[in-house]
Homo-oligomer: A and B are copies of this chain.
Amino acid sequence: MKLIQFISALIIIAMPAYAQEAPQETAPALTEAQKRTVDQLIDKALEDDRAYDILESLTTEIGPRLGGSEAEARARNWGVAKLRRLGFKNVRIETFDLPAWSRISESAEIVSPFPQPLAITALGQSPSTPAGGVSAEVVRFQTLPELQAAPIEGFEDKIIFVDEPMARTQDGSGYGAGVQKRVLAAVEAEKRGAAAALIRSAGTDSHRMPHTGGMVRGGATLGPAPAAALSNPDADQLARAMERADGPVTVRLDIQTEWRESAQSGNVIGEIPGETDELIVIGGHLDSWDNGTGAIDDGAGVAITVAAAKLVDELRGKPRRTIRVIMWGAEEVGLWGARAYAEQHADELDKHIIASESDFGAGEVWRFDTGFGPSAEGKVKPMADALRRLAIAPGFPVARGGPDVTPLREAGVPVATLYQSGTDYFDLHHTPDDTLDKVDPEKLKQNVAAWAAFIYMASEMDGDFGRLPVKGE
Protein backbone atom coordinates (compact mmCIF):
# COMPACT_ATOMS: atom_id res chain seq x y z
CA MET A 1 0.00 0.00 0.00
CA LYS A 2 2.69 2.40 1.04
CA LEU A 3 4.64 1.43 -2.01
CA ILE A 4 1.76 2.14 -4.35
CA GLN A 5 1.03 5.41 -2.63
CA PHE A 6 4.63 6.39 -2.97
CA ILE A 7 4.78 5.59 -6.64
CA SER A 8 1.51 7.26 -7.43
CA ALA A 9 2.65 10.36 -5.62
CA LEU A 10 5.87 10.66 -7.55
CA ILE A 11 4.94 9.61 -11.02
CA ILE A 12 4.16 12.53 -13.24
CA ILE A 13 1.67 11.40 -15.80
CA ALA A 14 -0.07 13.06 -18.64
CA MET A 15 -3.67 12.09 -18.24
CA PRO A 16 -5.35 10.73 -21.33
CA ALA A 17 -8.45 12.94 -21.38
CA TYR A 18 -8.53 15.95 -23.70
CA ALA A 19 -10.10 19.35 -23.17
CA GLN A 20 -13.80 19.54 -23.79
CA GLU A 21 -15.46 22.69 -25.06
CA ALA A 22 -16.23 24.86 -22.05
CA PRO A 23 -19.93 25.49 -21.41
CA GLN A 24 -21.18 28.94 -22.38
CA GLU A 25 -20.63 31.59 -19.71
CA THR A 26 -23.25 34.18 -19.08
CA ALA A 27 -20.89 36.67 -17.38
CA PRO A 28 -17.15 37.16 -17.97
CA ALA A 29 -15.06 35.27 -15.44
CA LEU A 30 -12.54 38.14 -15.32
CA THR A 31 -13.51 41.79 -15.47
CA GLU A 32 -11.61 44.18 -17.70
CA ALA A 33 -10.05 45.73 -14.60
CA GLN A 34 -8.95 42.34 -13.40
CA LYS A 35 -7.43 41.58 -16.81
CA ARG A 36 -5.45 44.82 -16.58
CA THR A 37 -4.22 43.87 -13.12
CA VAL A 38 -3.10 40.47 -14.42
CA ASP A 39 -1.11 42.23 -17.11
CA GLN A 40 0.44 44.61 -14.61
CA LEU A 41 1.40 41.70 -12.36
CA ILE A 42 3.06 39.97 -15.30
CA ASP A 43 4.91 43.15 -16.26
CA LYS A 44 6.19 43.60 -12.73
CA ALA A 45 7.14 39.95 -12.34
CA LEU A 46 9.21 39.96 -15.51
CA GLU A 47 11.30 42.78 -13.99
CA ASP A 48 11.49 41.34 -10.48
CA ASP A 49 14.54 39.39 -9.37
CA ARG A 50 13.43 38.50 -5.88
CA ALA A 51 12.78 34.86 -6.72
CA TYR A 52 16.38 34.42 -7.83
CA ASP A 53 17.59 36.16 -4.71
CA ILE A 54 15.48 33.89 -2.49
CA LEU A 55 16.80 30.86 -4.36
CA GLU A 56 20.39 32.05 -4.10
CA SER A 57 19.93 32.64 -0.38
CA LEU A 58 18.47 29.18 0.27
CA THR A 59 20.92 27.21 -1.84
CA THR A 60 23.96 29.14 -0.59
CA GLU A 61 23.18 29.66 3.07
CA ILE A 62 21.62 26.25 3.65
CA GLY A 63 22.67 24.03 0.74
CA PRO A 64 21.53 20.38 0.91
CA ARG A 65 18.64 19.76 3.32
CA LEU A 66 17.52 16.17 3.54
CA GLY A 67 14.11 15.58 5.11
CA GLY A 68 14.48 15.05 8.86
CA SER A 69 18.05 16.35 9.01
CA GLU A 70 19.58 19.14 11.05
CA ALA A 71 20.11 21.00 7.76
CA GLU A 72 16.39 20.86 7.02
CA ALA A 73 15.76 22.36 10.48
CA ARG A 74 18.12 25.22 9.56
CA ALA A 75 16.19 25.60 6.33
CA ARG A 76 12.93 25.96 8.28
CA ASN A 77 14.44 28.75 10.35
CA TRP A 78 15.67 30.33 7.13
CA GLY A 79 12.14 30.08 5.71
CA VAL A 80 10.54 31.70 8.75
CA ALA A 81 13.02 34.57 8.66
CA LYS A 82 12.59 35.05 4.93
CA LEU A 83 8.79 35.09 5.06
CA ARG A 84 8.75 37.49 8.02
CA ARG A 85 11.19 39.85 6.32
CA LEU A 86 8.96 39.87 3.24
CA GLY A 87 5.95 40.78 5.37
CA PHE A 88 4.02 37.51 5.25
CA LYS A 89 1.58 37.04 8.11
CA ASN A 90 0.90 34.09 10.43
CA VAL A 91 4.39 32.78 9.75
CA ARG A 92 4.93 29.51 11.57
CA ILE A 93 6.41 26.03 11.48
CA GLU A 94 4.02 23.13 11.78
CA THR A 95 6.17 20.23 12.90
CA PHE A 96 5.74 16.52 12.48
CA ASP A 97 7.82 13.45 13.21
CA LEU A 98 9.25 10.91 10.83
CA PRO A 99 11.85 8.16 10.74
CA ALA A 100 14.89 9.72 9.07
CA TRP A 101 17.27 7.97 6.73
CA SER A 102 20.77 9.18 5.97
CA ARG A 103 23.76 8.21 3.93
CA ILE A 104 27.09 7.48 5.65
CA SER A 105 29.27 6.21 2.81
CA GLU A 106 29.04 4.51 -0.55
CA SER A 107 31.43 3.00 -3.05
CA ALA A 108 31.52 0.40 -5.76
CA GLU A 109 34.04 -1.12 -8.09
CA ILE A 110 34.40 -3.77 -10.71
CA VAL A 111 36.56 -6.37 -8.96
CA SER A 112 37.12 -8.64 -11.94
CA PRO A 113 37.96 -9.09 -14.72
CA PHE A 114 38.46 -5.33 -15.32
CA PRO A 115 39.13 -3.75 -11.90
CA GLN A 116 38.07 -0.10 -11.68
CA PRO A 117 35.84 2.13 -9.58
CA LEU A 118 32.23 2.81 -10.46
CA ALA A 119 30.34 6.02 -9.67
CA ILE A 120 27.26 5.09 -7.66
CA THR A 121 24.96 6.55 -5.06
CA ALA A 122 22.78 4.73 -2.58
CA LEU A 123 19.07 5.09 -3.19
CA GLY A 124 17.17 6.88 -0.48
CA GLN A 125 15.94 4.49 2.24
CA SER A 126 18.35 1.78 1.11
CA PRO A 127 19.56 -0.47 3.90
CA SER A 128 23.30 -0.96 4.37
CA THR A 129 25.29 -3.76 2.88
CA PRO A 130 27.26 -5.79 5.42
CA ALA A 131 30.26 -3.81 6.67
CA GLY A 132 32.99 -3.89 4.03
CA GLY A 133 30.42 -4.40 1.28
CA VAL A 134 29.35 -7.33 -0.80
CA SER A 135 31.24 -8.77 -3.75
CA ALA A 136 29.14 -10.75 -6.17
CA GLU A 137 28.61 -11.67 -9.76
CA VAL A 138 26.44 -9.23 -11.66
CA VAL A 139 23.34 -10.35 -13.54
CA ARG A 140 22.00 -7.80 -15.98
CA PHE A 141 18.39 -7.17 -16.94
CA GLN A 142 17.57 -4.79 -19.74
CA THR A 143 14.38 -3.60 -18.11
CA LEU A 144 12.46 -3.86 -14.86
CA PRO A 145 9.69 -5.92 -16.50
CA GLU A 146 12.36 -8.38 -17.63
CA LEU A 147 13.50 -8.72 -14.02
CA GLN A 148 9.92 -9.02 -12.79
CA ALA A 149 9.31 -11.82 -15.28
CA ALA A 150 12.47 -13.70 -14.27
CA PRO A 151 12.30 -16.83 -12.12
CA ILE A 152 12.60 -16.47 -8.36
CA GLU A 153 15.33 -19.09 -8.17
CA GLY A 154 18.83 -18.72 -9.48
CA PHE A 155 19.81 -15.21 -8.38
CA GLU A 156 20.73 -15.92 -4.77
CA ASP A 157 23.63 -13.75 -3.57
CA LYS A 158 24.01 -12.14 -6.98
CA ILE A 159 24.00 -8.41 -7.70
CA ILE A 160 21.03 -7.64 -9.92
CA PHE A 161 21.65 -4.85 -12.43
CA VAL A 162 18.63 -3.21 -14.09
CA ASP A 163 19.99 -1.32 -17.07
CA GLU A 164 16.79 0.33 -18.33
CA PRO A 165 17.41 3.80 -19.82
CA MET A 166 15.09 6.76 -19.34
CA ALA A 167 13.53 8.74 -22.20
CA ARG A 168 14.02 12.50 -22.43
CA THR A 169 10.66 14.28 -22.88
CA GLN A 170 9.37 17.79 -22.37
CA ASP A 171 6.65 16.64 -20.01
CA GLY A 172 8.87 14.37 -17.96
CA SER A 173 6.78 11.35 -18.88
CA GLY A 174 9.89 9.16 -19.06
CA TYR A 175 10.15 9.44 -15.30
CA GLY A 176 7.29 7.07 -14.56
CA ALA A 177 9.21 4.02 -15.66
CA GLY A 178 12.32 5.47 -14.02
CA VAL A 179 10.62 5.63 -10.64
CA GLN A 180 9.25 2.14 -10.96
CA LYS A 181 12.72 0.82 -11.67
CA ARG A 182 14.15 2.80 -8.77
CA VAL A 183 11.50 1.71 -6.30
CA LEU A 184 10.99 -1.87 -7.35
CA ALA A 185 14.41 -3.18 -8.40
CA ALA A 186 15.45 -3.68 -4.79
CA VAL A 187 12.18 -5.40 -3.93
CA GLU A 188 12.58 -7.80 -6.85
CA ALA A 189 16.18 -8.38 -5.83
CA GLU A 190 15.20 -9.15 -2.27
CA LYS A 191 12.51 -11.60 -3.40
CA ARG A 192 15.20 -13.53 -5.21
CA GLY A 193 17.68 -13.54 -2.34
CA ALA A 194 20.06 -11.31 -4.27
CA ALA A 195 22.84 -9.50 -2.42
CA ALA A 196 21.97 -6.08 -3.82
CA ALA A 197 20.40 -4.18 -6.70
CA LEU A 198 22.13 -1.76 -9.01
CA ILE A 199 20.10 0.38 -11.38
CA ARG A 200 20.98 2.66 -14.26
CA SER A 201 20.11 6.10 -12.89
CA ALA A 202 16.64 7.43 -13.54
CA GLY A 203 18.17 10.37 -15.40
CA THR A 204 18.81 11.61 -18.91
CA ASP A 205 22.34 13.05 -18.72
CA SER A 206 25.68 11.53 -19.64
CA HIS A 207 27.69 12.72 -16.67
CA ARG A 208 29.15 10.63 -13.91
CA MET A 209 26.52 11.89 -11.53
CA PRO A 210 24.39 9.05 -10.25
CA HIS A 211 20.80 10.07 -9.47
CA THR A 212 19.54 9.23 -6.02
CA GLY A 213 15.86 9.14 -5.11
CA GLY A 214 13.47 7.31 -2.88
CA MET A 215 12.92 3.59 -3.01
CA VAL A 216 10.89 1.88 -0.32
CA ARG A 217 11.72 1.19 3.27
CA GLY A 218 11.95 -2.39 4.31
CA GLY A 219 9.82 -3.93 6.98
CA ALA A 220 11.11 -6.22 9.68
CA THR A 221 10.71 -9.35 7.57
CA LEU A 222 11.25 -8.56 3.91
CA GLY A 223 13.94 -6.24 2.52
CA PRO A 224 14.32 -4.43 0.12
CA ALA A 225 17.87 -5.36 -0.74
CA PRO A 226 20.55 -2.65 -0.54
CA ALA A 227 20.32 -0.64 -3.73
CA ALA A 228 22.31 1.98 -5.56
CA ALA A 229 22.16 3.87 -8.84
CA LEU A 230 25.02 3.91 -11.33
CA SER A 231 25.55 7.07 -13.36
CA ASN A 232 24.59 6.61 -17.00
CA PRO A 233 28.24 6.41 -18.16
CA ASP A 234 28.94 3.85 -15.43
CA ALA A 235 25.93 1.78 -16.43
CA ASP A 236 27.26 1.89 -20.00
CA GLN A 237 30.65 0.81 -18.70
CA LEU A 238 29.31 -2.08 -16.65
CA ALA A 239 27.20 -3.31 -19.59
CA ARG A 240 30.24 -3.09 -21.88
CA ALA A 241 32.41 -4.90 -19.35
CA MET A 242 29.87 -7.73 -19.26
CA GLU A 243 29.90 -7.91 -23.05
CA ARG A 244 33.69 -7.93 -23.25
CA ALA A 245 34.36 -10.33 -20.37
CA ASP A 246 34.87 -14.01 -21.08
CA GLY A 247 33.29 -15.02 -17.80
CA PRO A 248 31.37 -13.46 -14.92
CA VAL A 249 31.84 -9.83 -13.93
CA THR A 250 32.18 -9.33 -10.20
CA VAL A 251 31.30 -6.06 -8.50
CA ARG A 252 31.88 -4.97 -4.92
CA LEU A 253 29.23 -2.66 -3.49
CA ASP A 254 29.54 -0.99 -0.11
CA ILE A 255 26.67 1.18 1.10
CA GLN A 256 26.46 2.32 4.69
CA THR A 257 23.30 4.15 5.75
CA GLU A 258 21.42 4.76 8.95
CA TRP A 259 17.94 5.34 10.30
CA ARG A 260 16.90 7.50 13.24
CA GLU A 261 13.52 6.21 14.26
CA SER A 262 12.24 9.54 15.44
CA ALA A 263 13.32 12.76 13.81
CA GLN A 264 11.55 16.05 13.26
CA SER A 265 10.54 17.88 10.15
CA GLY A 266 7.95 20.55 9.49
CA ASN A 267 6.05 22.67 7.03
CA VAL A 268 6.89 26.37 7.01
CA ILE A 269 3.78 28.44 6.41
CA GLY A 270 3.16 32.12 5.73
CA GLU A 271 0.10 33.95 4.50
CA ILE A 272 -1.13 36.94 2.59
CA PRO A 273 -4.41 37.39 4.43
CA GLY A 274 -7.44 37.96 2.23
CA GLU A 275 -10.83 39.48 2.78
CA THR A 276 -12.22 35.97 3.33
CA ASP A 277 -10.85 32.85 4.97
CA GLU A 278 -11.06 30.90 1.74
CA LEU A 279 -7.59 29.53 1.05
CA ILE A 280 -5.41 29.34 -2.00
CA VAL A 281 -2.54 26.99 -1.15
CA ILE A 282 0.68 27.26 -3.13
CA GLY A 283 4.33 26.45 -2.45
CA GLY A 284 7.29 24.24 -3.12
CA HIS A 285 9.08 21.72 -0.97
CA LEU A 286 11.84 22.90 1.30
CA ASP A 287 13.73 19.65 1.69
CA SER A 288 16.14 18.37 -0.94
CA TRP A 289 18.27 15.37 -1.55
CA ASP A 290 21.61 15.43 0.23
CA ASN A 291 23.89 15.44 -2.81
CA GLY A 292 23.02 18.74 -4.53
CA THR A 293 21.92 22.06 -3.12
CA GLY A 294 18.28 21.63 -4.13
CA ALA A 295 18.15 24.51 -6.60
CA ILE A 296 15.83 23.03 -9.20
CA ASP A 297 14.36 20.48 -6.77
CA ASP A 298 12.85 22.36 -5.22
CA GLY A 299 14.36 25.64 -4.13
CA ALA A 300 12.99 27.06 -7.37
CA GLY A 301 9.43 26.11 -6.41
CA VAL A 302 9.79 27.77 -3.02
CA ALA A 303 11.29 30.90 -4.55
CA ILE A 304 8.77 31.18 -7.40
CA THR A 305 5.70 30.84 -5.20
CA VAL A 306 6.96 33.12 -2.42
CA ALA A 307 7.89 35.82 -4.95
CA ALA A 308 4.56 35.46 -6.76
CA ALA A 309 2.54 35.75 -3.56
CA LYS A 310 4.56 38.80 -2.57
CA LEU A 311 3.73 40.50 -5.87
CA VAL A 312 0.03 39.95 -5.21
CA ASP A 313 0.53 41.27 -1.69
CA GLU A 314 1.92 44.46 -3.18
CA LEU A 315 -1.27 45.19 -5.10
CA ARG A 316 -3.53 47.83 -3.59
CA GLY A 317 -5.93 46.33 -1.06
CA LYS A 318 -6.21 42.81 0.25
CA PRO A 319 -6.72 39.87 -2.06
CA ARG A 320 -10.22 38.49 -1.86
CA ARG A 321 -8.98 35.09 -0.68
CA THR A 322 -6.13 34.23 1.65
CA ILE A 323 -2.98 33.07 -0.07
CA ARG A 324 -1.19 30.48 1.99
CA VAL A 325 2.36 29.69 0.95
CA ILE A 326 3.73 26.39 2.23
CA MET A 327 7.36 25.35 2.17
CA TRP A 328 6.65 21.64 2.46
CA GLY A 329 8.92 19.48 4.61
CA ALA A 330 10.25 16.00 3.88
CA GLU A 331 8.76 15.59 0.41
CA GLU A 332 11.55 13.58 -1.16
CA VAL A 333 11.63 11.00 1.58
CA GLY A 334 7.95 10.15 1.30
CA LEU A 335 5.55 13.14 1.25
CA TRP A 336 5.64 13.41 5.02
CA GLY A 337 4.85 17.13 5.05
CA ALA A 338 1.94 16.71 2.67
CA ARG A 339 0.34 14.01 4.77
CA ALA A 340 0.98 15.83 8.04
CA TYR A 341 -0.63 19.01 6.68
CA ALA A 342 -3.73 17.21 5.46
CA GLU A 343 -4.13 15.64 8.89
CA GLN A 344 -3.38 18.80 10.83
CA HIS A 345 -5.80 20.82 8.68
CA ALA A 346 -8.49 18.18 8.22
CA ASP A 347 -11.12 20.45 9.76
CA GLU A 348 -10.55 23.30 7.33
CA LEU A 349 -10.07 21.43 4.06
CA ASP A 350 -13.40 22.76 2.82
CA LYS A 351 -11.89 26.25 2.93
CA HIS A 352 -9.13 25.16 0.55
CA ILE A 353 -10.56 26.30 -2.75
CA ILE A 354 -7.56 25.49 -4.87
CA ALA A 355 -4.05 24.12 -4.35
CA SER A 356 -0.93 23.84 -6.46
CA GLU A 357 2.78 23.17 -5.98
CA SER A 358 5.71 24.21 -8.16
CA ASP A 359 7.99 21.15 -8.17
CA PHE A 360 9.35 20.48 -11.61
CA GLY A 361 12.45 22.61 -11.76
CA ALA A 362 13.09 26.06 -13.11
CA GLY A 363 12.24 25.64 -16.78
CA GLU A 364 9.64 27.91 -18.35
CA VAL A 365 5.95 27.22 -17.82
CA TRP A 366 4.60 26.05 -21.16
CA ARG A 367 1.20 24.54 -20.34
CA PHE A 368 -1.65 25.21 -17.94
CA ASP A 369 -3.41 22.06 -16.75
CA THR A 370 -6.44 22.20 -14.52
CA GLY A 371 -8.17 19.84 -12.15
CA PHE A 372 -11.31 21.83 -11.39
CA GLY A 373 -14.68 20.49 -10.40
CA PRO A 374 -17.25 20.24 -13.26
CA SER A 375 -19.06 23.36 -12.07
CA ALA A 376 -15.94 25.47 -12.63
CA GLU A 377 -14.98 24.37 -16.12
CA GLY A 378 -15.89 27.79 -17.44
CA LYS A 379 -12.99 29.30 -15.52
CA VAL A 380 -10.37 27.39 -17.47
CA LYS A 381 -10.51 29.44 -20.66
CA PRO A 382 -10.26 32.94 -19.18
CA MET A 383 -7.36 31.83 -16.99
CA ALA A 384 -5.60 30.19 -19.91
CA ASP A 385 -6.22 33.25 -22.07
CA ALA A 386 -4.59 35.50 -19.49
CA LEU A 387 -1.49 33.29 -19.40
CA ARG A 388 -1.10 33.15 -23.17
CA ARG A 389 1.21 36.15 -23.43
CA LEU A 390 3.75 34.15 -21.41
CA ALA A 391 3.75 31.51 -24.18
CA ILE A 392 1.74 29.15 -22.00
CA ALA A 393 -0.60 26.85 -23.89
CA PRO A 394 -3.98 25.62 -22.66
CA GLY A 395 -3.50 22.12 -21.32
CA PHE A 396 -5.36 19.08 -20.08
CA PRO A 397 -8.50 19.39 -17.95
CA VAL A 398 -6.93 16.88 -15.59
CA ALA A 399 -4.04 17.86 -13.35
CA ARG A 400 -2.24 16.45 -10.36
CA GLY A 401 -1.19 19.81 -8.98
CA GLY A 402 2.19 18.66 -7.61
CA PRO A 403 3.29 15.93 -5.19
CA ASP A 404 2.57 17.77 -1.93
CA VAL A 405 -1.02 18.62 -2.81
CA THR A 406 -1.82 14.96 -3.44
CA PRO A 407 -3.61 14.45 -0.09
CA LEU A 408 -5.58 17.67 -0.65
CA ARG A 409 -6.59 16.63 -4.15
CA GLU A 410 -7.58 13.22 -2.90
CA ALA A 411 -9.76 14.98 -0.31
CA GLY A 412 -11.57 16.90 -3.05
CA VAL A 413 -9.59 20.13 -3.31
CA PRO A 414 -9.29 21.40 -6.91
CA VAL A 415 -5.80 21.79 -8.31
CA ALA A 416 -3.94 23.31 -11.23
CA THR A 417 -0.51 22.67 -12.69
CA LEU A 418 1.63 25.37 -14.22
CA TYR A 419 3.53 22.79 -16.20
CA GLN A 420 7.21 23.57 -16.64
CA SER A 421 9.40 22.36 -19.46
CA GLY A 422 11.14 19.25 -18.21
CA THR A 423 13.36 18.55 -21.20
CA ASP A 424 16.56 19.09 -19.20
CA TYR A 425 15.14 18.51 -15.72
CA PHE A 426 16.22 14.90 -15.46
CA ASP A 427 19.78 15.77 -16.41
CA LEU A 428 20.14 17.34 -12.97
CA HIS A 429 17.36 15.91 -10.82
CA HIS A 430 18.56 14.22 -7.61
CA THR A 431 22.23 14.67 -8.51
CA PRO A 432 25.10 16.75 -7.08
CA ASP A 433 24.55 18.96 -10.12
CA ASP A 434 21.28 20.36 -8.79
CA THR A 435 22.88 23.74 -8.08
CA LEU A 436 22.08 27.42 -8.59
CA ASP A 437 24.14 27.86 -11.77
CA LYS A 438 21.66 25.61 -13.61
CA VAL A 439 18.82 28.10 -13.11
CA ASP A 440 18.12 30.66 -15.82
CA PRO A 441 17.03 33.88 -14.06
CA GLU A 442 14.82 34.89 -17.00
CA LYS A 443 12.93 31.61 -16.95
CA LEU A 444 12.50 31.96 -13.21
CA LYS A 445 10.86 35.35 -13.80
CA GLN A 446 8.49 33.85 -16.35
CA ASN A 447 7.46 31.34 -13.70
CA VAL A 448 6.86 34.05 -11.15
CA ALA A 449 4.75 35.95 -13.66
CA ALA A 450 2.65 32.89 -14.39
CA TRP A 451 2.17 32.12 -10.71
CA ALA A 452 1.35 35.72 -9.77
CA ALA A 453 -1.25 35.84 -12.52
CA PHE A 454 -2.65 32.47 -11.52
CA ILE A 455 -3.05 33.17 -7.81
CA TYR A 456 -4.46 36.61 -8.46
CA MET A 457 -7.11 35.15 -10.75
CA ALA A 458 -7.80 32.30 -8.34
CA SER A 459 -8.22 34.82 -5.58
CA GLU A 460 -10.47 37.29 -7.39
CA MET A 461 -12.72 35.24 -9.65
CA ASP A 462 -16.34 34.92 -8.64
CA GLY A 463 -17.31 31.49 -7.45
CA ASP A 464 -15.11 28.60 -6.50
CA PHE A 465 -13.34 25.86 -8.49
CA GLY A 466 -15.83 23.14 -7.64
CA ARG A 467 -14.74 20.00 -5.83
CA LEU A 468 -13.03 16.86 -7.05
CA PRO A 469 -14.29 13.40 -6.19
CA VAL A 470 -12.96 12.30 -2.82
CA LYS A 471 -10.65 9.32 -3.18
CA GLY A 472 -12.19 6.09 -2.03
CA GLU A 473 -15.72 7.46 -1.86
* Chain B residues near A241 (CB-CB < 8 A): 60-61
Q: Determine how close the nearest CB of chain B comes to the CB of A120; give it in whole angstroms.
A: 12
* Chain B residues near A207 (CB-CB < 8 A): 207, 209, 433
Cα A239 to Cα B349 in complex, Å, equals 45
- CB pair B209–A63 under 8 Å, yes or no, is no
Choice from B63, B119, B240 contacting A114 with Cβ under 8 Å = B63
- CB pair A233–B61 under 8 Å, yes or no, is no
Mark each residue of chain A from 353 to 391: 1 if its CB lies under 8 Å from any CB of chain B, else 0. Answer: 000000000000000000000000000000000000000
- CB pair A114–B71 under 8 Å, yes or no, is no
* Chain B residues near A208 (CB-CB < 8 A): 209, 292, 432-433, 435
Q: With contacts A56-B240, A241-B60 known, is A233 near B116, CB below 8 A?
A: no
Check: A237 CB closer than 8 A to any chain B CB. Answer: yes
Q: With contacts A206-B437, A293-B237 known, is A64 near B432, CB below 8 A?
A: no
- CB pair B115–A71 under 8 Å, yes or no, is yes
Cα A422 to Cα B468 in complex, Å, equals 57
Q: With contacts A115-B71, A116-B71, A237-B293 known, is A244 near B57, CB below 8 A?
A: yes
Report A60-76 residues with CB < 8 Å from chain B CB.
60-64, 71
* Chain B residues near A71 (CB-CB < 8 A): 115-116
- CB pair A236–B436 under 8 Å, yes or no, is yes
Choice from B114, B119, B436, B438 contacting A60 with Cβ under 8 Å = B114
Check: A248 CB closer than 8 A to any chain B CB. Answer: no
Cα A436 to Cα B236 in complex, Å, equals 9
Choice from B113, B116, B236, B244 contacting A64 with Cβ under 8 Å = B116
Check: A87 CB closer than 8 A to any chain B CB. Answer: no
Choice from B114, B233, B236, B438 contacting A206 with Cβ under 8 Å = B438
Q: With contacts A209-B207, A233-B437, A438-B206 known, is A432 near B119, CB below 8 A?
A: yes
Residue of B nearest to A57 (CB): B244
Instruction: Report the count of interface residues on A (CB-CB < 8 A).
Output: 35
* Chain B residues near A293 (CB-CB < 8 A): 116, 237
Q: SS class of chain A's interface: helix, strand, loop or mixed? A: mixed
- CB pair B435–A60 under 8 Å, yes or no, is no
Report A36-75 residues with CB < 8 Å from chain B CB.
56-57, 59-64, 71
* Chain B residues near A233 (CB-CB < 8 A): 433, 435-437
Cα A442 to Cα B219 in complex, Å, equals 51
Check: A130 CB closer than 8 A to any chain B CB. Answer: no
Cα A244 to Cα B113 in complex, Å, equals 50
Q: Determine how close the nearest CB of chain B comes to the CB of A102; give it in whole angstroms.
A: 13
- CB pair B236–A114 under 8 Å, yes or no, is no
- CB pair A64–B435 under 8 Å, yes or no, is no
Report A202-226 residues with CB < 8 Å from chain B CB.
206-209
Report A239-260 residues with CB < 8 Å from chain B CB.
240-241, 244
Check: A117 CB closer than 8 A to any chain B CB. Answer: yes
Choice from B60, B110, B116, B206 contacting A244 with Cβ under 8 Å = B60
Q: Determine how close the nearest CB of chain B comes to the CB of A468; give it in whole angstroms.
A: 40
- CB pair B433–A60 under 8 Å, yes or no, is no
* Chain B residues near A116 (CB-CB < 8 A): 62-64, 71, 293
Q: With contacts A209-B207, A432-B119, A437-B206 known, is A61 near B237, CB below 8 A?
A: no
* Chain B residues near A117 (CB-CB < 8 A): 63-64
* Chain B residues near A115 (CB-CB < 8 A): 63, 71
